Structure formats: structure tokens, C-alpha cells
Structure 1
């Protein structure tokens, strides 16, 4: 009897890669995709790598699959934007070892700056696309992806969403398939995508996609469930689960697991048998458009919102008159608890210092833990676009401020992992043009926001093997910037931090600030810290609240006095005590 276990969708994708005989996997961390590669790395037969960005991850995987290995590259939806350059051409190159790209979309923007629907990338990039609806399908579709990739000489894109990634369900485990590395044979016309070769390869790709469409019309993952044909529902992914929860067996279903190329004949057959067609899908009207193009009337985004994450309740209220069942309620309203910077976070020192100079700068942020500095009381950024944008947007902003005689200086910031991802190229532009900006590299020694993944600045890789650590400060200096324009500081030390920002504002041209202090949640930092924490002497405290301005979650104020409300959470960093002018705060171990 085969073993059955409970797995999240991300864990199941990793298991599917193992069972499919994948030999190489690469990714850049990003919620909700991060746990895929973390779980892949648990299988020693798969060489697993964190790349510096998604483009590099896809290119490494492309090289491995061209060489004969089955490969996996995974990322969150906005990461596919970064990887789009190679992805658009890889389809022309095709598959030797078999290649799967996983895009984890984030409807509802639980941890993202937009909620783009990456199903459209499959059409744009000439990719076979799969959409699993639960953990078992995540594993099964992953294995199927390599069969399709190799059979049709194409690349497969598998789109999952937040709920599929993180929900858990039962998965049946199977033994891995022995998959030896295929022999690499030179084939310039197939793999060197210069215009003369690409023109010919495009013809081949279109021919192969027609074959996949025929397969899609009869494949086992595009299924029909005929019940009452008065209503037919066409759906895919997690939306299928929501539809089943609402309608059960009272309607008919066309469940699409392979959605590019779209199974046109199967859609026609289903629509002709049903009186009314509802298309239920999360995100854009991807399936709905395909149905309407084939001449079938249906409801879709006119009934179900295009925004946010779908739920069974949304489906029910949008398509039925059935009232929602009342859930359990209580009179007590929970307090609003927005995410905050952790106690001991080095970014807090940076942002607190920044508040003293807010009227002299325009702050432009980036994607990472430091994004939490946008909230009260720091109001630490006025714009945030994408990875690396914290540096590059300042260059354009400087010119706009200059044009309107605004004396403020743009101040941009990003973290060490983001610097490796896409910050270096922006820095090079700033150095080359001597842009009148302040660029702050917040180095906390790890990729923090997504859960402490390794990057080029760490001494071990994802698989625990020692690697050469790349110092981001060395990379800054390698641009040729004058040494007196670079300020390396401990952000917790407010005298250092204040002086660095003040000097950078007063001096024209490019100024770079590198803050260096490890993330408070790193295991070795916690071990070294021991029981170190802060204590407040209530007899000395005068209730001035200066210490509260650092907004540390461990500090509280009651009965006119400050006190450490969460001793276990306090790291004893000393940031708050630097504001105490009466000596009421001491650090103890």
C-alpha cells in the first residue's frame, strides 16, 4: 500500500520534482513560492540553488535542461517579470531534459505589490500551462509536466495560487522515476537563438502547440463532470474547489488542468450540452475570453470580481440567491495588528534616524522587511515599485526635483539580498552619472522577509555546503565610487547613523550609506545574545516617552512610566536607551 501523507501544495510540488527525477532546481525566494525550493533541497538527488534573481534562476535551469537534466525553476508571480527575458526565448529552444517553471500567483496581494495573472505569460511565451487545484494535483501535474515537456519539446509553466501553495491535503507518495541525464549533443540551429535560427524555431513551436491542443482536448487532466446540464461551470485551479463547495453535484463541470493551449473542442462540446455557462476563475478573464472567442455566451467577470482572492462565499453570493450561513460571532473586536519591524531589527535604527531628516529628503523604498518602515511613526518611504527600484527610482526623482527647484535630495534604500538581485546595476548607473542621490544599502546578513534564505552574501548555500561569500561592500567599491562618498555604519548607533545621513544630505552628488547589523532573528545572533535584554528603572523614569519613539514592540507605557512589556522579545539592542536622558534604562544579561 502506498504511503499517504498530508502536504501543502508547495511541498507536493517538491515531492513531484523528486519523483519525476529532477536533477537541478533553482529559484529566488518570494511568498507564496518560497517553500517549494526549500523542500526540494531536502532531496539529496536534486542539486538545489538559490539564485540572485529569477532571471538567473531560469537561465541556470535552461542550461541544465539543455545539457540533459530535468530542471525546475520556481518564483512568485512578480518574479516571472524579472525572468521574462529568457522565458520568452526558451520556448523556441525547447526541451532536452525537460523543464518546468512554477509561477506562484498571489490573488489578494497577501504579500505582493500587485495581483497580476501569469496565465497570460503562457500565451505570450508559447508555454504549455498547467493549473493544479490541490496538493495531490500539484505532485501529479509536476510529474506530468516533464512528460509533456520532453514529448512536445516545449517548456511548461505551472500556475499555482496562494491558497493552493499553502493549503494542505492528502498526497499519495510514489517511488522516484529513474531519470538519467540525457546526452548533450551540439545543435546550434535549435539552441542559438539568433534571428536566422529563431525564425525557423518559431515555426516548429507553433506546430508543436497545435499537437498539444489536440492532446488538451482528450487529456486526463481536462475533465467533464455531467450532472444537471441546466448550468455548466468551466473552471480551473483553486476555483474548482470553491465551485464544488457551493454547487456540489447540482451542476455540470468542465475542470481545466491544462489551460494553454486551450482545449477548444472540449469547450465547444461542453457548452453545447449546457444551457447556461458560468466561468469561475481567480484573476483575469483568461478562460472566459477563450470561451467567448469560440462564440459561446457565458457569465464571468460581470458576476465575479476580478480583484482579490476568490472564496466559496464570493462564488455563492455572485452566482446564487442562496444566503450565506451565519458563522460564529463574538462581540469582542480584535485589535488591529499591522505587521511591524521586529524587536532588535537593525532597520528600526535606520528609520528612526531618518525621521530626524524627513523634511530634507524624498524617501523611495524597495521590497523587503524595510517596507514595514512605511508605517507610523516612521513614514519611511513615499514610493515602492519593485525589487531594485529603491535605487534606480531615485535617479529620475533627482532630475524632477531639480527641475522644480525642490532642494530635497532623494534617498533610496534596499537590502543586501535585493542588492544582489537587482540593486547593483542601479548603483552603477548612479555612480556613472554622479546622480545627486543618497543610496542606502541595509545589510542584515540574510534574505530576511521570506524567512532567512541564503544569498550571495552568506557562507553556506541552500544545501548547507560552504561557498565563497561575496561582500556587498566590496561590490559597491568595485564600481569605482570615491571612498569618501561611502559611509559604513552600525544603524543601531544613532550618532553614527545620524552623521551618515546628515553628511550625505550636505554633500552634492552620489552618497552611499551601508548599514551593517545582523537580523535579530538569525539563530547565531539569538545564541550569542543569550538572555540579554533591557530593564527600566521606574524610579528614574520621568515619563517623557522619548524611548517610545523608536516604536519597538517590546516596549510599552503605563501609569506614566515606560516598561519592557515583552522581556523574551527584547534583544537588548540599546536603540531605545539612547533616547533616555535620565539614565532609566540599562541593558542586562
Structure 2
């Protein structure tokens, strides 16, 4: 099973009572797999901060709790994480963070091992799916022994790699306890927090002692000419690149077993630290006064692999074909055929003097040609306050306009406070909420505007119109984004307002199961009416292609000599959205009968 599936199994076997998280590659599947176990309460939270706070509350009530998120999600959850280090809990709390070296699906490449150091909590890092399952179970035991949250750090390769995993015994969730109050521990007023601060330092001292003898950290004997200290997936690369070498494998990466590290360092002639991203381990070793190679040889950017490790440390003996990249044809990402976001971005791409402040979601693909409609993307929720900042910086009377674009899930995640700020401080930006009723980019997870839970049960559906009005927005419009002329009309009118306005572009994602099961009616091009204006081509729809006339073919077919070709619609790919037909002024695109 995959690492994510193994972690879900580990949570089930550990008797987790409550699990909460927010979708984010590469961690998403953990919650999806875990939701299949009836004994575990699982939920998608609006964001990672809420998810961790739910887990902390479950722990205060005596249950074991898991919070899952990708690496940037821990930035959002940092506030409760740092204080939970002081409070501890009653049941164990494990915070699963999934880093994304090489940014396969992320806007930055941060190393969340630094959070364990800063928050003063222990951290475990597995190197394969089997360890991922066992480390999660052990994390609950360790956390309850030390009365602390535990950070379990994985990376993309651990999350998605497949491995053999043995099922273990299942610990039943704790019986419902009587709610006990511990204000001296759970109420972090300054007077209590100062006392808990001392407890945190005492706990870390105990944890350092545990790290020395814990079987998380293992010395593997071998050739002592070279010794490697490593952790996580990097351990596998070291074993493949230098199978004969001595290795200190660190499963507990914080706090470090200093005595064991010194013992190992003294036993080898040359010491290497192999780790992805930051020189986290290397910095600690050098602070111990140990001489070692690390980022002077190993890249600090992107993923490692066996070839990179071998080439970095022993380039003369590395086989040449070990690190020759396999060329792949370019496959640029694109929004799906029939995606409701396309009409909005086509409209925005045709507007002059408009800055489009983008956000995180599949709609970020609106940046790519031929739409090229996004001018900024920073982090989840940033589009709205950034637009407000631009408006205020340009001042009154500017001929430029600012539009922020955000998805429904991202708006709930971290956009609402930005909207409140914009209204409160008198912004004149326009917000477009792309409401496709789902968290699409990470794999069709439900969110508060979807009307269903992670288990598929009916839930209260968030009313985005009422929410925006409650935030103080006077002008809220709902439109069908597939009607491109209407999009143009509404957006053009709203950007001219001198106060905050909201447009909700409401249409379901074409990948929703109920839409995938239907039989769409394909559109087709009436070649006799097509004048080759390319308006439909500029939509960038994968279902629409351009056929170029051969020399003399245009005249032979009765077209103008200047016409270069005509558009064609692939009836297999067409999803019956009608955006192309709404654009065509020459009525060359017609809706046909069901073709599949």
C-alpha cells in the first residue's frame, strides 16, 4: 500500500478517535483512506488551523487525535501548534505534515523539520510505508508518555510510494471519558503559560534521553571509510548508492541523539549528512563541533534520488547512465474541457488596464497560455487582501482596476477575513468567487459549500451570497460562467464600481461524479459557417482544435483566400458547456445530438 494508505491504517490501529485535516497534495489521501474506517470520526476542516484545533479539543476530551496537512498548511496551523506544545493534552495528538520537495504541487519548497525545533516538540520521520504506519502508532505512545504533540513528517515520495505493510493489532478508541477540567494546563493566560514554559524545557530534556535509546535511531554497520547520517526517504537513496557504507538512520529527527551521533561520527573516517532541502541535521552536527560533509556536496534545492546522491559524493565512480535524465514530451497542464473557470478567464484576458490577483486552486492554470489571465499568485486567500492593497496604493482616480479571483474552497479556507477587511477599509476591488461546489485541484473533496461531508453524508450547505452580504458587500451577483457574453457584461460593469463588489460564478466542476455519468451532447463546427476568426480557439479548450487549410484548399472549398483554416470540436472530449457557441458571432458552432 502507499505511504498515505499505511498512515491511515496506522491511525485506525492506534485507536484514533478524531481525525481532521484539509486537502493538500501530497497528504490528501490519508483522510480519504481513514474515512473508510467507521470507528474513526473523520472530517474535512475549512482550513488546517481549524483542523489542528479540532484535534487539540479531541485530545483535551481524552481521545487520540490526528491532524493532517501539506507543508504550507502547517504555516496556517502554526498558532495552535506552538501553544499546544505548552498545553499538551490527555489523548495523544499527532500532526502529520507532508513536505513537497521539488514543488510537484506547491508554491514553495519549505522544510517543516524546522517547526519541530521552533515549537519544541518531538518529530519522527519514516523512510517507507511500513515505517510510516508504525511510526504513527508509536507517535501516539510517545506523545502520551511525554504529554506533547508529535510532528510526523513525510515527503511526497513517502506519501505516494508503494510498499509491503503488515497489519497489526487494533487498539479500540478510548471509552467516552467524563470531561475533566485542567485550567492550569489548558488555559494559557500568561501566569499559567510561564509555568508550562518550564515544563516544555523539562520535557525536551527527557525526550533527548529517550532519543538516545529509542529504536527509531539505528546504527547499521558497514565500511567505516564513509559514514552516513540520514533520515526519511534519503536513507533509501543512501542504501542504494552506497550499500556497503555504515549508516546512522535517524527516525527521530528532533530532538537528536547527540551521544549516539558522536559515537557514530568517531567510528568513521569521513562523515556525510544526506538530507533533502535544508541542512537541518548538518547544522545541528556542526553545532556539536562535528566535521561533516553536507550541502557542500548535496543539492539544497529539489528532490534527491540515488543518482544524485552517488554523483554528488563519488562522481568518478558513478555510472554515467545512472543520472542521465529520460526526456519526456512536454505536457503542459490545462483546465478540463467544459471547465466553468475558462469563460471567466477568457473574459478577464480580453480586458485592458485590469490586474488579476489570483489564488491557489485549479484556476491557477488561468495563468497559462492562451488565456494568460493571472497576474499574481502567492498563497491561499491572498488574492483578496492583495487586491485591496493595490487599490489603496494606486489611490483614487486611477484608470487601472483590480480583480481578485478565488475558488469556493479557498474562499472558505482563508478568504473571508480578507473580504471583511476590504469592506471595512473601503476597498474598490472586485472579487470573483469561482464556485464549482468542490475542492477540485486535490481530487474532488467536499467542502462547506458542497453540501456533503467526507463520508458522503448530507451537510448544511454554505450560502455564499448570504455570507458575502453578511460581510457588508452591497453588490453581490451570481452568474453562469459558461455564458461568456454575460460574463463580459457583468464583470465590465462591476469593475467600474467605486466600492467592493462580488461576483459568484456558479457552475459545477465537470469532474463531479454526477456530471461524469451523464451523456453530454457534443457541440460541432459547421464548417460552411466558420470564417476562421479563432475566437473559440482562444478559449484554450482541449476539445477544440485548429485545422489548417492546405495551399489552395480555402478557395476550392469556397472560402476567402485569406482564411487559414477552421476549428473542429472533438465529440469525445466535449463536455457540453457551450462556452464556444456563446462566443461565436457567426453561428458556426451548433449543439448536436448525444454522440456517446
Partners of 2:225 and 2:322 lie apart in 1 by 31
Partners of 1:564 and 1:520 lie apart in 2 by 21
Equivalent of 2:400 in 382, 403, 408? 408
Equivalent of 2:572 in 559, 568, 571? 568
- Report 1:13-92 matches (<5 A): 13-92=7-86
Determine the structure 1 residue equivalent to 2:556.
none
- Report 1:188-587 matches (<5 A): 188-248=183-243, 250-320=244-314, 321-326=316-321, 334-357=328-351, 359-402=352-395, 406-482=398-474, 485-528=475-518, 530-560=519-549, 561-564=565-568, 566-587=570-591
Gaps of 5+ in 2: 550-564
Q: 1:341-365: CA deviations, max 9, x gaps?
A: 11000110000011121x2211110
Give me the CA root mean square deviation. 1.6
Contact 1:360 1:505 in 2 (8 A): no
Determine the structure 1 residue equivalent to 2:552.
none
Worse-matched range after superposition: 412-421 or 182-191? 182-191
Contact 1:160 1:237 in 2 (8 A): yes
Contact 1:229 1:252 in 2 (8 A): yes
Partners of 1:360 and 1:500 lie apart in 2 by 17
Q: 1:426-484: CA deviations, max 9, x gaps?
A: 000111122021111111111111111111112220112221111122111111221xx
Contact 2:436 2:507 in 1 (8 A): yes
Partners of 2:568 and 2:9 lie apart in 1 by 45
Instruction: State the Cα distance separating 1:330 from its structure 2 match.
Output: 12
Contact 1:401 1:407 in 2 (8 A): no
Contact 1:19 1:174 in 2 (8 A): yes
Contact 2:124 2:152 in 1 (8 A): yes
Instruction: State the Cα distance separating 1:326 from its structure 2 match.
Output: 2.2
TM-score, scaled to structure 2 = 0.94
SS at match of 1:421: helix
Worse-matched range after superposition: 265-274 or 334-343? 334-343
SS at match of 1:326: helix
Gaps of 5+ in 1: 1-6
SS at match of 1:168: coil
Q: 1:121-152: CA deviations, max 9, x gaps?
A: 00111111000000000000000000001111
Instruction: State the Cα distance separating 1:527 from its structure 2 match.
Output: 3.1
SS at match of 1:170: coil
Distance 1:222 1:406, change over 3 A: same
Q: 1:263-295: CA deviations, max 9, x gaps?
A: 111111111111110000011011001111111
Partners of 1:124 and 1:330 lie apart in 2 by 38
Partners of 1:374 and 1:350 lie apart in 2 by 12
